[in-house]
A and B are shown apart, each in its own frame.
Chain A
Amino acid sequence: MSTETPLLLFEQVSKWYGSVLALNQVTLELTGGITGLVGANGAGKSTLLRMANGQLKPTLGQVSVRGTDAWDWKARRLVGYCPDIDAFYEDMSGRRFVWVMARLCGYTRAESKRRTEAVLERVGMSERADRKLRGYSKGMRQRIKLAQALVHDPELLILDEPLSGIDPIGRQELLELFQALAAQGKCLLISSHELESLEKLTNHVVIMARGRIVAVGTLQQIREMLDDRPVSVRIDVDRPREVARLLLALSEVIAVDVAPKLADGGEGIVVKARNPKRFFELFGRLVVEHQLEVRRLEPLDESAHAILGYLLGGSGKT
């Protein structure tokens, strides 16, 4: 297979769990480097990752790894997967676990041993890998998960929340390891619900919300996209007319509707503003200066909602 073929390709992929739409017409192409996948809980990140390593089949569309259907077992030779679940064969030692995983990739005993030692060294566990897994800290377990994902030297590494539960020093070590792997030509797809932790690692981000990819690109591109795109924000506040007057004085505000027809029938005002980040900063100052009681602040556009949440440093929920 030509290396020109995308390493990971999602083509119009949708996934239903019964009546729940988990992924909605996702198209994504990865060729290398590190890609951060961010989204709130339930946004569809894990479903996307499980499809990429062939645990799940798309209801519609196709997922392929170097041109091979991701559901095909041969595609798993190319993929290393580090799941977010914290489940092991607890009675095994870390070294034994990684060795068994290498053996289950089809290597001989000697080759498995060599690979096991190499990856344990790589993730910084070679000195501590003889203890039973049940006695490991969260960070050590994450490293062992990473070791098993690396043991067959895959081209594509899919890491589901690999930094969760790791202390700052360990986190820094792993970030350096990820960068080193990317420098070796590996493609890494790393999910996180915190953009902050990925921001140090990569500039290429995929933002998901409610089963859709709402933004792909560098953080800079995404920010510019948002700047160029006005956002509607619902604000429930006392003294709405006074607040509307204050808001209209802001340079970022395009319009204010003081009697909007809201879906839930509630009362509030809807502000249309450009450059959302700047708008929220200015609005925050207004709230403090005029001691406004804000009961609700919600972007009405779901995509913008999700993107803003991340760019503003939240968990995707503004």
Chain B
Amino acid sequence: MTNGTHHSSPPSAFRAWCVLVVQSFQRHLRVRQMGWVSAVLLGLVVVWVAFATQNGAWELAGHRARRITTPIKDNQPSSAAPLARLTNAQEAERLRPDSRYNALAGGNTDRFQPHEVPNPLNPTEDALASLVLSIPHAAMRSEVPVGTAPEVVTKVEPNRFLTSWRFMSYSRWVIFLVFMGFVLPLFTLSYASGAFGTERESRSLVWLMTRPIPRSGIYLAKFLGTLPWCVAFGLGGFVAVCLAGGPAGREALARFWPAAAMGTVAFASLFHLVGAIFRRPVVVGLVYVFFYETVVAILPGSLKLLSLTFYARSLMYNEAVGAGHPGEMLPAMTEAVSSATAWWVLAAAPVVITLFGMWLFSRSEYRDDI
């Protein structure tokens, strides 16, 4: 009918497939409700991280000291009012020899434990006590000179212990728990599940399913059209969260971005499959994110081996430990797999999941009436 006397180029299934990839990408330009929710969530996380960073939340010195707050005198609770909990830095300052001697001179030792009160009559014991009680101050206050040469110091930086503590504290709460546990899965869920979910909701999938393109090709094209959005928002979110985290965040960005990228791609493939299988992919995805990835992935046992974040976290953990940071600060990751295993799993997961999705989709019926 339409080709009449015109010279028309023959249709090509590959060309149609390429058009579908582009079209799928463009469909995501319309930010959907779930996208907005994720963006707001990310905004809140970035604000929280920036606020916490500003207030030294990742710094050991700024943390409240863990110690008995009511002083004890002669093995009996003191009648003095409970001490306000001091920060580690204040506590270290309080335990310095000159602070303790000043308190002794002023007769103001109520707020000291018996072993903290200086004992000038026993110089050996007093020297040993002073030595031990000086350690916190030394750890909190010592600095590392940085310069172009030993004699040319341009600035001083906190010592290695403090920077490691800061980095691991930030990594534990912000990267491992909040970003990998919630933000990244939710971002990828919102975009990847929408590839088919939006078409199902608007009942427009029929237009694709009646085109002369293999079903497996439709599945793959929808995935490839969605993937750039997932990576852009997943990694973009990661960069935003890291940049809001100050020096620790910048180090986390440099060390962890490959794991975050691999995790994003793996999650995208998984949630794309969820979107193709389930009529309510967001509900299924949320249950998976909040139950499986968040809870099961940090429990002891082998169930976590089926968690994608476990492998991404393993990569991050190994990277951090390899850089000399104390792995003990990430107690949930003591069973981390090796980096090689994690790389293999994170690289294979998207391929296997996508191939499975293509196979499944090519056998599935689509009904436009329900």
Contact = CB atoms under 8 A, between A and B. Distances in A.
Interface string A108-152: 100100110011001000000000000000000000000010111
Contacts of B202: 87, 89-90
22 contacts: A50-B368, A55-B367, A57-B365, A73-B215, A73-B217, A77-B11, A85-B369, A87-B203, A89-B207, A100-B19, A100-B23, A103-B16, A103-B23, A104-B211, A106-B12, A107-B11, A114-B8, A118-B2, A119-B2, A150-B2, A153-B1, A153-B2
A278 interface: no
A54 B366 CA distance: 10
A85 B203 contact: yes
Given A100-B23, A106-B15, A151-B2, A53 B210 contact: yes
A50 B213 contact: no
A100 B367 CA distance: 22
Given A101-B211, A181-B1, A85 B368 contact: yes
B7 to A, nearest CB: 10
A76 interface: yes
Given A85-B368, A108-B9, 18 more contacts: A50-B367, A55-B210, A55-B366, A73-B212, A73-B213, A73-B215, A74-B212, A79-B210, A85-B369, A87-B206, A100-B19, A104-B208, A111-B9, A114-B6, A118-B1, A148-B207, A153-B1, A181-B1
Contacts of B15: 103, 106-108
Given A88-B204, A105-B16, A152-B11, A76 B365 contact: no
Interface string A230-269: 0000000000000000000000000000000000000000
Nearest to B10: A106
B9 A73 contact: no
Contacts of A152: 11, 212
Nearest to A82: B210
Given A55-B366, A73-B213, A104 B206 contact: no
Interface of A: 46, 50, 53-57, 73-74, 76-77, 79, 81, 83, 85, 87-91, 100-101, 103-108, 111, 114-115, 118-119, 122, 148, 150-153, 181, 184, 186
Nearest to A57: B365
Contacts of A115: 2-3, 8
B210 A103 contact: no
Contacts, number: 112
B30 interface: yes
Interface string B13-33: 111100110010001001000
Contacts of B2: 114-115, 118-119, 122, 150-151, 153
B209 interface: yes
Contacts of A88: 204, 207
Nearest to A75: B212
Interface residues of B, number: 37
B136 interface: no
A89 B204 CA distance: 7
- Nearest 7 interchain pairs by C-beta: A106-B11, A106-B16, A87-B203, A118-B2, A104-B211, A76-B212, A103-B19
B362 to A, nearest CB: 9
A46 to B, nearest CB: 6
Interface in B174-230: 202-204, 206-215, 217
B11 A105 contact: yes
Contacts of B366: 55
Contacts of A119: 1-2
A37 to B, nearest CB: 16
Contact of A76 (B20, B203, B211): B211
Contacts of B208: 104
Given A85-B369, A153-B1, A184-B1, A104 B6 contact: no
A12 B207 CA distance: 28
Contacts of A108: 9, 15
Contacts of B365: 55-57
Contacts of B210: 53-55, 76, 79, 81, 83
A87 B9 contact: no
Nearest to B11: A106
Contacts of A186: 1
Contacts of A74: 212
A91 B209 CA distance: 20
Contacts of A150: 1-2
Contact of A91 (B30, B213, B217): B30
Nearest to A152: B11
A106 B179 CA distance: 41
Nearest to A112: B19
B206 A55 contact: yes
Contact of B369 (A46, A73, A106, A181): A46
A56 B11 contact: no
B73 to A, nearest CB: 76
A306 to B, nearest CB: 21
A73 B23 CA distance: 19
Contacts of B215: 73
A55 B204 contact: no
A83 B206 contact: yes
A108 B20 CA distance: 13
A85 to B, nearest CB: 5
B194 to A, nearest CB: 14
A153 B10 CA distance: 12
Nearest to A103: B19
Contacts of A100: 19, 23
